Each structure stands twice: as C-alpha cells, then as structure tokens.
C-alpha cells in the first residue's frame, strides 16, 4: 500500500455573518491505494467537508493537503482544477449523469474533457461500462435506468480516466439494499485493482465492505464509533 493523499492538521472553518462553524477540526489522516475507506458520521458531522478537502474542492483554513506527495494548499484554483481532473474522480448520491446523453456518452465525457479522441474515448468507455456489467445498456438514457444502474454508470465514468483517487459522497443513499450492495462491490473491486476509494456514508450497514473505517463526529475524526444512536 502507498499513501496517495493525506491531510496534515487540516481544519475547515466556515464564517457566515457573525457565526463561525468548525466544519472539520484539525485532522491528520492518510489515504492509501488498494483500500476502500469508509468515512462514517451522522448528518452534519463534517463528512462532506472532509471529502471535499481530500478532493481538492475546498482549501483548508489551517493545515495542509497532500496529493501524491504534493502540498496543494498553495496552488491556484486553476492548478487545483487540473489536479482534480488528473487524479480524482467523484461519485455522488444523485449520480450527476448528464440527462440528454446516453450511458456511453456520459462515460466518454471526462476523457473528451482531457482531450482524448472520440474513438479512443469510446473504446475505453465501453470497457469501463462492461466492467460494471452495463455493457448491454450503452445506448440507454439515464431516465431509462434504475438508480442502481445509474450509479454503476457513474462508477464507470469515475474509473474510465484511471484517476488514482475515487471519492464517493453517500453513493448508496438513494438505492435499495440490493443495488447498494452491487455498487459497494463494484467500488470494492476498484480498490482491489489499485485505487484509493473513499466512501462517505451515514449508513452503518455499509461497514462490512470497508477495509478501513473512520468516524466523524461533530467535526472530529477518530477510529472509534462514539455514539451509535446518532446514526439514523
């Protein structure tokens, strides 16, 4: 295993008007390849903030964020966007597929954005969709797919660029238990094949899929679950 990303004493504070919210208290954590890490916590505990720091979507108020060994806290917005495009894939609760595009076109999108030819993008996208058992739905529009199928298209889109880090924010929250298990198995497979996969969830039932679990409670990260009753 290698460290792919890490936070060193990173903290995120939001100021709105005269109130200050510490969304994430000082946190030091390493993200490894070949590992599916679950970040568990009740609603409002700071999970998305933590994921957004790892994903270079926001800057920390204090501390540092390292991606592949580089401290990105001094980077410009433009350079940060480049880091995201090349190193990080995102999967969300609501899939974020582009509605007028079919499954194949959705998965081709990030490759075209990176400047690959249509032909090369198409080949890679088909392979990615086949790997999540969606090879027979290439031409389907998102509205013709179930929630679980849409999420598998989103996973194909995330893996097609071969980014080292795959970040998932509540990826199973809109799915039934069976589809959730399929999605988690696909994510687990990604980790097994070498990626660093981070899954944020408030669903304690996902714990069996994790190689490693951290808990976020009131902005504090720990490896112990403090209060199971908060998870609803």
Residue partners of 41: CB distance under 8 A and separation at least 6? 47, 200, 202, 215, 216, 217
Q: Is 16 in the site for ligand ADP (CB under 6 A)?
A: yes
| CA–CA separation, 124 and 109 (whole Å) | 11
Q: Is 201 in the site for Mg ion (CB under 5 A)?
A: no
User: In this structure, which long-range contacts are made by residues 74-80, counting pairs with CB atoms below 8 Å and at least 24 apart in sequence?
Assistant: 80/56
Angular region, 106: left φ>0, alpha ψ -120 to 50, beta rest: alpha
Binding mask 15-54 for Mg ion (x = CB under 5 A): ---------------------------------x------
* β pairing state of 62-67 and 70-71: antiparallel
| Residue at shortest CB range from Mg ion | 48
- The listed partner (ligand ADP, Mg ion, none) that binds 195, CB under 5 to 8 Å by sort, is none
Q: Residues 98, 101, 107, 113: is their CA dihedral positive or negative?
A: negative
* 96, interface contact from Mg ion, ligand ADP, none, CB < 5-8 Å by kind: none
Interface map 43-82 toward ligand ADP (x if CB under 6 A): xxxxxxx---------------------------------
Residues contributing to the site for ligand ADP (CB under 6 A): 14, 16, 21, 23, 41, 43-49
Residues contributing to the site for Mg ion (CB under 5 A): 48
């Amino acid at each position: 295993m290698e460290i792919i990303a890490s936070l060193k004493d990173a903290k995120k504070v939001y100021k709105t008007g005269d109130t200050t919210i510490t969304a994430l208290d000082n946190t030091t954590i390493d993200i490894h390849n070949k590992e599916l890490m679950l970040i568990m916590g009740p609603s409002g505990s700071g999970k998305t903030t933590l994921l957004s720091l790892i994903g270079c979507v926001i800057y920390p108020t204090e501390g540092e964020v390292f991606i592949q060994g580089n401290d990105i806290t001094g980077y410009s917005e433009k350079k940060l966007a480049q880091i995201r495009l090349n190193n990080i894939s995102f999967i969300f609760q609501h899939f974020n597929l582009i509605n007028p595009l079919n499954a194949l076109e959705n998965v081709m999108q990030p490759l075209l954005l990176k400047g690959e030819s249509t032909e090369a993008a198409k080949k890679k996208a088909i392979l990615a969709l086949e790997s999540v058992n969606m090879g027979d739905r290439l031409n389907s529009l998102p509205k013709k797919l179930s929630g679980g199928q849409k999420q598998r298209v989103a996973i194909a889109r995330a893996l097609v660029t071969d980014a080292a880090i795959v970040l998932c924010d509540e990826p199973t929250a809109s799915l039934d238990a069976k589809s959730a298990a399929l999605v988690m198995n696909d994510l687990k497979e990604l980790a097994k094949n070498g990626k660093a996969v981070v899954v944020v969830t408030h669903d304690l039932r996902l714990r069996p899929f994790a190689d490693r679990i951290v808990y976020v409670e009131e902005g504090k990260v720990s490896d112990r679950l403090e209060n199971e009753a908060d998870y609803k």
